[in-house]
Structure 1
Amino acid sequence: MFEIHNLSIKYGEKTLLLPTSLKFKEGKLYTIYGKSGVGKTSLLNKIGLISEYDPKVTYIYDGSKIDTSNKKIVSSFIAQNLAFIFQNHNLINDLTVYDNLKISLDFFNLSAKEVEKKIDDILSELEILELKDVYPEDLSGGEEQRVAIARGMVTDKNIILADEPTNSLDSENRELVSSLLLKLANKYNKIVIVVSHDEYVINKGDIKLHFEDKKLIGMKEDIECNFQKEWHASKLKKHIRLKIQKKRKVPPLPVLLLILISFTVSLAVGSMNIQSLFSSKYQRIISDSLENGFLVINDSIGLGTNKVIDDFQSLSNKEIHQISDSRNVYKLEPYIEFPSMGMTFENAENYLKISRDFSPNLSINGKNIHLSKNYSVQPLFNTNTTQRQIKYFDRTTNRGIFVSESFIKEQKLEDIVAGSEMTLTYYVPINIYESHIDKEGSYSKSDGDLYVKEEQTFKILGIVKEEFPFNYSVNDNTLFMASDEMLKIQSKYIGAESKRRETIDDLPVKEWAPSAVHVTVKDSKDVPQEINRIKNISDKFSIVSSFENYKEFNKGLKYIKNFLLIISFVMLLLVVAILSFVFFLINRTRKYEVGVLKAMGYSTKHVFRLFILELLNYGKKIITLSSVLLLILTLLAIQMLQLEVVDIIHFYLASIASLIILTFVVLMTSGLIPIYLTGKQPIVDAIRKNR
């Protein structure tokens, strides 16, 4: 028995039905009739619990009160006991007749064969079995009506509510449906409640209820409201899994739209990650292009020069350690210079006279050349700038001499070509002697280099360009040698020749130490930071750095990064807007399905799960297609930016990760918002407003 107490109907301020109580018994066909607009359909919706919740109304089924404030319980009650046959049919247009019926059977523990048999039986009884695989839009009005009736009856529920079930039927099918409804009530002991204006159907009713003057005439009025317990579901599956229907006639996401969306998404995600990659690549290019080394001179006399003067005091071991003590420092090398004339233990007494009378010369390819100025062999430190400023004759070895372009022009050395050799005399520093300098009446400690003389023939390995930015020597840029080769030569002589005497001209002699060191940092962007750090060690230190402006380069890099970031952000917003709009529209048109499914007994949770599964399905398609397009973008990026394997992997994986996050976040928010809002509506409104 199904009882409803204190039921009333209002439309705005207008009362359609005064408070009344209803009792429906099994085995009876109830027909409700009345004038059009009196509220018959509203009454049926209220009886069937698909109208807006009304706390004043009490529903009792078989002595158990239904907690209508609990939407989950209402859904379970509808799923187990209530079947609707709607006046407007409310079939899901993209599903076949078979799937429209099958979806209402997913609550019950039935095998696939049992489901198919039940559907075939009811379709046969209504003489529409041949329409099993047809879509609703291909049905006539009468056929669609019979399918709607079949869907309401296939679940074999105890209460069947039918709104104008014979509206679109001819006389033959009207008789068939009317007899079937009566049979369900009388033979199968169902409660069948029919709203109709068809006298033939009305007269079939065991109990006829006339709806007029805001009353329902024909129902016993003194019905007591008695119940013993709360109603709970007993026949339903514990876990209802609403599956995606694969046979939709019109896929919610057409192929062309899918391709367009995937292309836009991949482009946005790719641009977002390419800007990061490009910035990183550009930073590396800048780092590799900018000079990553500088010279630290111990200007103990305070001359403020960028030249390494022999009289400068040598750096202590502590100072050298302090200079090198940074994780940014890659290499620290002493500044060594091999001049064309130097003081030795042998010529110390007459050095000033000898040096005044000295006339430098060297030979190239056996030809002796007298020079107009002194020369020196200076170190070439292996830095970014150095490599770009050399015209190499031979890259296979470091053992040889490089000649500066300016020295060639000044001395008119025209015969230097690949394969040329140079024989020269040079002096290798092996010790230092301690001294002092009188500067404006103030004495400052100093020291000078003691050398050993050497003559050797070297292969000319290349020419140092005139625009070489470093000029550390008082002899200007003349000859160069790789710094590590110079260190090898010096080490050989220091071991064999150094400290042969304790003093020279009463000046103490000690082990050789540099008065300048060259610092190479790992990344050129850290040069300014390291220069500032070293300046703070001692105010005597003079730093000679590249001519390049680090701040300007970094400012340019920052500008490019920000510009690319803005472009990526705009594209990302565009993609989010497109995805949100598309999936909002897709699911907006399907909000009607939410009402239909809930009228079958599916809870908001079940419906949400269905749409989440469908959105995940769309998301997988978008991600798969976008991944392919991203692969193409990656290949293009390889060509444009000359990427390394690590860069390629990083870019692609970062793009895929961004793609997954972006796609699912946007799909879930844009796709589920309309569904969520619809799920909050009363069932009848979800159907009526979104049909």
Structure 2
Amino acid sequence: MTIKQIQKIKKMPGITSVQPYYTFLSYGLTKENVRQPVPKGSNFSLGGKSYHVDETFSIQPIYKSDLTKKYLYANGHPAKVGTNFIVSQDFLEKNHISTKSAIGKQVAFEVYIPYAQYLSESELPTNNKKKVAIDGNIYVQQPLAATITGVYASNYPYDRSEQGNAFFMDDASMTTLLHSAIRANTTSDQIFQGFKQKPFGYSALRLEAKSYNDMVSMTKTIKSSSGFYSVSSVAQNVASLNATVQKAKNGTRQIALLFIMASMIALIILFSMNNRQRLREVGILKAVGFTTKDVRRILFWNAMKYGCYCFGGAALLIVVAATIMALRLGVHFIAIILTAFITNLALSFGVTIFASLWPIRLISRKDPIDIIKA
């Protein structure tokens, strides 16, 4: 990115901090390995024990403002600026390393620090008449050893590196190593003949906003200003998470409604069949002088009895389910109970009363003799 582009972004409303973002790698292109095949994976040692991973991993900067965020840590805590070296919990677990045992141990590996960039053009595979610009970093290799001071939790909210989250180092310490590598190496030594080379430049920025709303606005403004920019923000992650949660809620609600409707239909059919078997008794009652209102009252209290049975059984299941959800998922117990009990009350008594009284409506105008014969 050019100085002009960076300055333009700095002047955007709502932005409080603009810092360069870059990474060191466990393997990169150097003058020495340019003609060699890319190795399969990377090696590192932790506490004197050697480990091999199948992919290239990165070291990312820890910015000063992140050092106050203790919630990022699964183990350990922020140390003095310049002494922080943190590893991701996911990276440790993937390599079967205990998160607790990593704290205080020395990690060592060969790190690749960028000092230059190459630039060229290439034909598109699908259209050899069209060319696109290509570039990449040129690195210098040097050993790195540091003591692990903390472990970032699995829910670490930032996903900035193309290589995923592995190691993190103080921004100030990384900047010192970066500038030393740039000063100590010249761009005049050609990696690829015919390619242009220039000193390393930042291709990404880390921005801070005053508020969440400023972050949302900033993301839209930067994207609309140029198709050159790709923006990834916590606001986008939150929006994506909210959309996923809403989709899950809608799906769960639809399934729940389907089950409720199926249960209602099943109960209505069950109670209707049960009451139809008792139509002969209803006919006899009407024949000896009971009115439809009297019969309806008898069936109503019978439905209330069944409703109590249904409500009691469902209430027991609700308490068990709500307790499990409260313990396992941290869901508020009272909120679940209140909503579920109100729904249970309406369904248990509403369905049983409706199913019990509906047949009476159908036979209220029939003669008692016809009802008994039916």
How high is the TM-score relative to the length of structure 2? 0.57
Q: Which residue of 31, 40, 63 corresponds with 1:345?
A: 31
Residues 333 and 436 (structure 1), Cα distance of their counterparts in 2 relative to 1, 3 Å cut? farther
Contact 1:322–1:537 under 8 Å retained in 2:
no
1:311-333 deviation digits (Å, cap 9, x = unpaired) = xxxx2222222222235322222
Structure 2 counterparts to residues 359-370 of structure 1, below 5 A: 359-370=41-52
Q: Report the CA distance between 1:394 and its aligned residue.
A: 4.7
Q: Report the CA distance between 1:403 and its aligned residue.
A: 0.9
Measured in 1, the distance between the counterparts of 2:51 and 2:139 equals 24
For the pair shown, which has the larger CA radius of gyration, 1 or 2? Answer: 1
Q: Does 1:418 align with 2:103?
A: yes
Residues 335 and 407 (structure 1), Cα distance of their counterparts in 2 relative to 1, 3 Å cut? same
Contact 1:336–1:487 under 8 Å retained in 2:
no
Measured in 2, the distance between the counterparts of 1:328 and 1:473 equals 25
Instruction: Show the counterpart of 1:377.
Output: 59
Q: Does 1:332 align with 2:18?
A: yes
Query: Aligned partner of 2:55: which letter?
Result: K
Q: Report the CA distance between 1:424 and its aligned residue.
A: 1.4
Structure 2 counterparts to residues 376-525 of structure 1, below 5 A: 376-382=58-64, 387-391=70-74, 393-397=76-80, 398-414=82-98, 416-439=101-124, 440-441=126-127, 442-501=130-189, 504-525=192-213
Measured in 1, the distance between the counterparts of 2:54 and 2:162 equals 15
Measured in 2, the distance between the counterparts of 1:396 and 1:405 equals 18
Contact 2:70–2:77 under 8 Å retained in 1:
no
Contact 2:188–2:197 under 8 Å retained in 1:
no
Contact 2:119–2:197 under 8 Å retained in 1:
yes
Query: Aligned partner of 2:197: which letter?
Result: V
Q: Report the CA distance between 1:423 and its aligned residue.
A: 0.8
Measured in 2, the distance between the counterparts of 1:361 and 1:508 equals 32
Local SS of the residue matching 1:395: coil
Query: Aligned partner of 2:171: which letter?
Result: S
Query: Aligned partner of 1:548: which letter?
Result: V
Instruction: Show the counterpart of 1:530.
Output: 218
Local SS of the residue matching 1:504: coil
Measured in 2, the distance between the counterparts of 1:387 and 1:532 equals 30
1:10-43 deviation digits (Å, cap 9, x = unpaired) = xxxxxxxxxxxxxxxxxxxxxxxxxxxxxxxxxx
1:548-577 deviation digits (Å, cap 9, x = unpaired) = 249x9xxxxxxxxxxxxxxxxxxxxxxxxx
Local SS of the residue matching 2:225: coil
1:259-309 deviation digits (Å, cap 9, x = unpaired) = xxxxxxxxxxxxxxxxxxxxxxxxxxxxxxxxxxxxxxxxxxxxxxxxxxx
Q: Report the CA distance between 1:500 and its aligned residue.
A: 4.3
1:663-684 deviation digits (Å, cap 9, x = unpaired) = xxxxxxxxxxxxxxxxxxxxxx
Contact 1:389–1:464 under 8 Å retained in 2:
yes
Measured in 2, the distance between the counterparts of 1:396 and 1:480 equals 13
Contact 1:336–1:378 under 8 Å retained in 2:
yes
Instruction: Show the counterpart of 1:548.
Output: 238
Residues 492 and 416 (structure 1), Cα distance of their counterparts in 2 relative to 1, 3 Å cut? farther
Residues 462 and 378 (structure 1), Cα distance of their counterparts in 2 relative to 1, 3 Å cut? same
Contact 2:31–2:191 under 8 Å retained in 1:
no
Local SS of the residue matching 2:238: coil
Query: Aligned partner of 1:413: which letter?
Result: I
Q: Report the CA distance between 1:445 and its aligned residue.
A: 1.2
Query: Aligned partner of 1:507: which letter?
Result: F
1:178-227 deviation digits (Å, cap 9, x = unpaired) = xxxxxxxxxxxxxxxxxxxxxxxxxxxxxxxxxxxxxxxxxxxxxxxxxx
Local SS of the residue matching 2:146: strand
1:127-173 deviation digits (Å, cap 9, x = unpaired) = xxxxxxxxxxxxxxxxxxxxxxxxxxxxxxxxxxxxxxxxxxxxxxx
Measured in 1, the distance between the counterparts of 2:225 and 2:70 equals 30
Q: Report the CA distance between 1:505 and its aligned residue.
A: 2.8
Measured in 2, the distance between the counterparts of 1:532 and 1:423 equals 41
Taking only the aligned residue pairs, the percentage that are identical comes to: 22
Query: Aligned partner of 1:540: which letter?
Result: F
Measured in 1, the distance between the counterparts of 2:186 and 2:71 equals 37
Query: Aligned partner of 2:218: which letter?
Result: E
Query: Aligned partner of 2:90: which letter?
Result: S
Measured in 2, the distance between the counterparts of 1:527 and 1:389 equals 20
Local SS of the residue matching 1:406: helix
Query: Aligned partner of 1:316: which letter?
Result: T
Residues 413 and 372 (structure 1), Cα distance of their counterparts in 2 relative to 1, 3 Å cut? farther
Query: Aligned partner of 1:371: which letter?
Result: V
Residues 383 and 396 (structure 1), Cα distance of their counterparts in 2 relative to 1, 3 Å cut? closer
Query: Aligned partner of 1:375: which letter?
Result: F
Measured in 1, the distance between the counterparts of 2:123 and 2:155 equals 36
Select between 468-477 and 389-398 the one with higher mean Cα deviation: 389-398
Q: Which runs of 5+ in 1 are unaligned?
A: 1-314, 553-691
Q: Report the CA distance between 1:360 and its aligned residue.
A: 1.3
Local SS of the residue matching 1:492: helix
Contact 1:435–1:448 under 8 Å retained in 2:
no
Query: Aligned partner of 1:406: which letter?
Result: D
Contact 1:338–1:428 under 8 Å retained in 2:
yes
How high is the TM-score relative to the length of structure 1? 0.32
Contact 1:394–1:462 under 8 Å retained in 2:
yes
1:206-262 deviation digits (Å, cap 9, x = unpaired) = xxxxxxxxxxxxxxxxxxxxxxxxxxxxxxxxxxxxxxxxxxxxxxxxxxxxxxxxx
Q: Report the CA distance between 1:476 and its aligned residue.
A: 1.6
